Structure 1
Amino acid sequence: MDGLGSAPERVLVFAAHPDDIDFGAAATIAGWTAAGTSVSYCILTDGDAGGFSDEDRPGIASLRRAEQRAAAEIVGVSDVTFLGEPDGYLEPTDDVIRQIVRRMREVRPDIVVSMHPERSWDRIQKSHPDHLACGEAVTRAIYPAVENPFAYPELEAAGLRSFRVPWLWFYGGPAHLENRYVDVTGSEDRKIAAITAHRSQHPDVERMQSRVRAILRDNARRGGLPEGRSAESFHVVGINTDETIAGF
């Protein structure tokens, strides 16, 4: 498995908020799970600053967790964890990075999928401060912390052994950095259904659905796919591959 072709065995996906994964990668994930990949989600914040209705405010964090679990089920994912950091105040702190390292060592994925740490000026909504913090925290965790037995030695002592992640796939980053376009034609409806499951986040469902389909078509065009295809786009980085050298 090279991280770019055949289906990986295990994938761990990080997001700042419930619904981020579904906008960024749900169709790709649906393809992976259909091929037998075990996919796990880790949502960093509680999502309590999201939504548009005053009626949802009491218990919004619990509602958003339920929405994320329902969305995950649509694309074949049952392992969903939440770190519960405050929505709107996420930072790549030592504690957050430790929790991410713990989750990586528990799952031991072939591919980590994460929001991007770099701001995108083509569509600023992709670069919510929590999104950038998620990307930065995951990047700091994946190298060198998760593979260093002397980083967070309490994890090593608890049996969560260090290991090297081969691949990191970023979503929601600057368009000029994207280097992988996954053809998701035929999975558009499942992606839309997963996004729509976050009903507390959509004041105009029809407009959202139409816009998402347009973005998928534009991704395919930018990726050089034939007319009429749909794609999700990623910035893929090799962390420990045949082309990398340990210690450099």
Structure 2
Amino acid sequence: QCVRRGYRVGILDLTRGEMGTRGTPELRAREARAAARALGAHTRENLGLPDAHLEPRLDWKLLVAARIRALRPRVLILPYWEGRHPDHVNACRLGQQAAYLAGLEKLDLPGAPHRPFKILYALLFDVPRGVQPTFVVDITRDYARRARAIACYRSQFDGPRVQRGVHIPLTGLEERMATLCGYYGGLIGARYGEPFATRETMQVDDLLQLSVRSI
């Protein structure tokens, strides 16, 4: 949706996914590039940090902070701060702390200081049950593009649900995403929706312009 509205969109991957049960880092890199093209992203980068070993180390926070200064996003979307995968949780911590560091004028990093205005947390995947979104975006017009991007990661959700004794949560991902997007869309009276959380209270300027009908 952001691309369709004319905004520049970038993706920063932290790892190459080398510890994943399915696929190889090389294959996953090709899939990531294909997905970025499908989404219309203007840039996609990979920091090459060790998969399954992410943590908010200072040197890694500085790497992310340097990219934030270079790319200068107004909105930063991170994984939700709780989840089953430690890397997802630590990616959230890394991103949030790096965003703060990127704004420190006296920090010895390339580029001018910059902090995103808003940090959003994605809720559609790997989120504990019962977590309620702050808001839901109507993605009905953009769902087909989103589905094409997900389909680029074919290595991750084709195959048996259990492989070498390991449960693979991505099996059947397309169907699960359609169900989840349909559910969240229904909450706002749309066909498909994507949920997000914020840590801040959202501001409303005009009560008469509120969306989503009550009765």
| TM-score band w.r.t. shorter chain | 0.7 to 0.9
Please give the alpha-carbon distance, in whole angstroms, between the structure 2 residues aligned to 1:182 and 1:114. Answer: 16
Asked whether the 8 Å contact 1:69–1:78 carries over to 2, the reply is no
1:203 aligns with 2:167: no
TM-score by length of 1: 0.70
Structure 1 Cα separation of the partners of residues 134 and 92 of structure 2? 17
> Given the alignment, which residue of 98, 103, 106 partners 1:147?
103
Question: Partner of 2:9: helix, strand, or coil?
Answer: strand
Structure 2 matches for 1:161-240, cutoff 5 A? 161-172=112-123, 173-174=127-128, 175-204=130-159, 207-221=172-186, 224-226=187-189, 229-237=191-199
Q: How many residues align?
A: 188
Query: What is the alpha-carbon distance in structure 2 between the residues aligned to residue 217 and residue 230 of structure 1?
Result: 5
Separation in structure 2 between the aligned mates of residue 141 and residue 195 of structure 1, nearest angstrom: 27
Residue matched to 2:85: 128
Give the Cα separation in 1 of the matches to 2:141 and 2:171.
19
* Deviation string, structure 1 residues 34-90 (Cα, Å, up to 9, x no partner): 1111111100011112243xxx4xxx1121111101001101014111011111111
Counterpart-to-counterpart distance in 2, 1:78 and 1:65: 16
Alpha-carbon separation, structure 2, partners of 1:229 and 1:213 = 10
Matches within 5 A, 1:1-248: 31-52=1-22, 56=23, 60-119=24-83, 127-143=84-100, 145-150=101-106, 153-155=107-109, 158=110, 160-172=111-123, 173-174=127-128, 175-204=130-159, 207-221=172-186, 224-226=187-189, 229-237=191-199
Instruction: Provide the secondary structure at the position in 2 that maps to 1:106.
Output: helix
Distance 1:131 1:139 in 2: 12
**Alignment partner of 1:33: what SS?**
coil
In structure 2, do the counterparts of structure 1 residues 39 and 61 end up closer, same or farther at CA, with 3 Å as the change threshold?
A: same
Alpha-carbon separation, structure 1, partners of 2:197 and 2:147: 22
4+ residue runs over 4 A deviation: none
Q: Provide the rounded CA distance (Å) in 2 between the counterparts of 1:147 and 1:237.
A: 19
- Asked if 2 retains the 8 angstrom alpha-carbon contact of 1:147 and 1:162, the reply is yes
Asked whether the equivalents of residues 166 and 238 of structure 1 are also in contact (C-alpha less than 8 Å), the reply is no
Whichever residue aligns with residue 169 of structure 1, its letter is L
SS of the aligned residue for 2:95 comes to helix
Cα drift, residue 235 of structure 1: 0.8
Q: Is the 8 A contact 1:146 1:164 kept in 2?
A: yes
Conserved? CA contact 2:158–2:172, under 8 Å: no
Structure 1 pair 92–82 and aligned structure 2 pair: CA distance change class (3 A): same
Code of the aligned partner of 1:40: G
| RMSD between superposed Cα atoms in Å | 2.2
The equivalent residue for 2:207 is none
Q: Partners in 1 of 2:132 and 2:174 — Cα distance?
A: 25
Identity score, percent: 26
Deviation at 1:177, TM superposition (A): 4.5
Q: CA deviation at 1:206?
A: 8.7
Q: Whole-Å Cα distance in 1 between the matches of residues 135 and 188 of structure 2?
A: 12
* CA shift for structure 1 position 117: 2.0
TM-score (norm 2): 0.80
